[in-house]
Amino acid sequence: MKKHFFHIALIAAFAAALASCKKDPEASTPTPKEGKVLLEFSNKVGTENLKMDGTVYKNQNGDDFSVTKFNYYISNIKLNSIDGSNFAEVESYHLLEQSNTTSLNFSLAKVPAGTYKSITFTIGVDSLRNVSGAQTGALDPANGMFWSWSSGYIMLKMEGTSPQSPQAGNILRIHVGGFSGANNTVKTVTINFPNTITVNGDENHVHLSADVAKLFGPSNVTSFASTSVIHMPGADAKKIADNYASMFSVTAAGK
């Protein structure tokens, strides 16, 4: 009997020794999580916020102008990671309208965890969607940003007045479109963030600014005396598009 108890005691002591030697489990590393990136656009003229209340601005040519409408398409948005990969938004077509402030802010959902350094997007609507027939949402022709199946979408629409315009009522009507050949006005740009953003289950904000004054120079300086109405694809629309390729900047990025 004593031998039996001795064996039990020995096994218990051995088990206790093993337990004392067992290391505490290491803390598990949290799994990186998808997050959201909120894009916030603001339209300006130079450093001033764009107003459509009769405020008078000057273009690169020194012409005075005021704005009554300012709409444009942003599409095919990508966030570019520091590791060379990117996140591409699905069904990425947005119509931004100065008169509708809710259209100027929208979120990119399910952005993979990672560190991002820049954004790429198209100003306008890509050629495929221009020839894809009747569409809905931002691309619905009822939005007033579509000419015809042959001419396609209006990529950007700016309307207003200028005393230098020879049109009745001194109107300005700058409707920029054209998606093929020499008169293609679709522009894709990549803009670096002022600092990287890290997505990990949270929301980041990217603030973008569009400068209306850059529609009219400095690359292609526009005189409203000679160019006050653009309403079809052509050389004048292409010049404005070449200008708006440099219209955007990222002013801030982060939580």
Does residue 184 fall inside a structural domain?
Answer: yes
Does residue 19 fall inside a structural domain?
Answer: no
The bridge status of strand 93-97 relative to strand 64-81 is antiparallel
Does residue 14 fall inside a structural domain?
Answer: no
Give the total number of structural domains in the chain.
1
Measured at the alpha carbon of residue 120, what is the angle toward residues 116 and 121, in degrees to the nearest 5? Answer: 140
Contacts of 14 (CB under 8 A, 6+ apart): none
Task: Provide the residue range defining the domain that includes 194.
Answer: 31-254
Mean pLDDT for back-to-back runs of 10 residues, the chain (255 residues) = 49 53 59 94 97 97 98 98 97 97 97 98 96 90 91 96 98 97 96 98 97 96 98 96 98 96
Residue 15, CA distances (Å) to 2, 6, 20, 22 in order: 20, 14, 9, 11
Does residue 62 fall inside a structural domain?
Answer: yes
Give the Cα separation of 232 and 95 in Å (integer). Answer: 19
Give the Cα separation of 191 and 118 in Å (integer). Answer: 6
Does residue 116 fall inside a structural domain?
Answer: yes
Does residue 236 fall inside a structural domain?
Answer: yes
- Distance of alpha carbon 71 from the chain centroid: 14
pLDDT at 8: 52
pLDDT at 151: 87
Does residue 20 fall inside a structural domain?
Answer: no
pLDDT at 10: 47
CA dihedral 62, 63, 69, 73 (to 10 degrees): -50
Q: What is the pTM of this model?
A: 0.87
pLDDT at 29: 72
Does residue 141 fall inside a structural domain?
Answer: yes
Residue 184, CA distances (Å) to 21, 187, 206 in order: 73, 8, 28
CB 59 within 8 A of CB 220: no
Contacts of 162 (CB under 8 A, 6+ apart): 63, 64, 65, 66, 170, 172, 224, 228
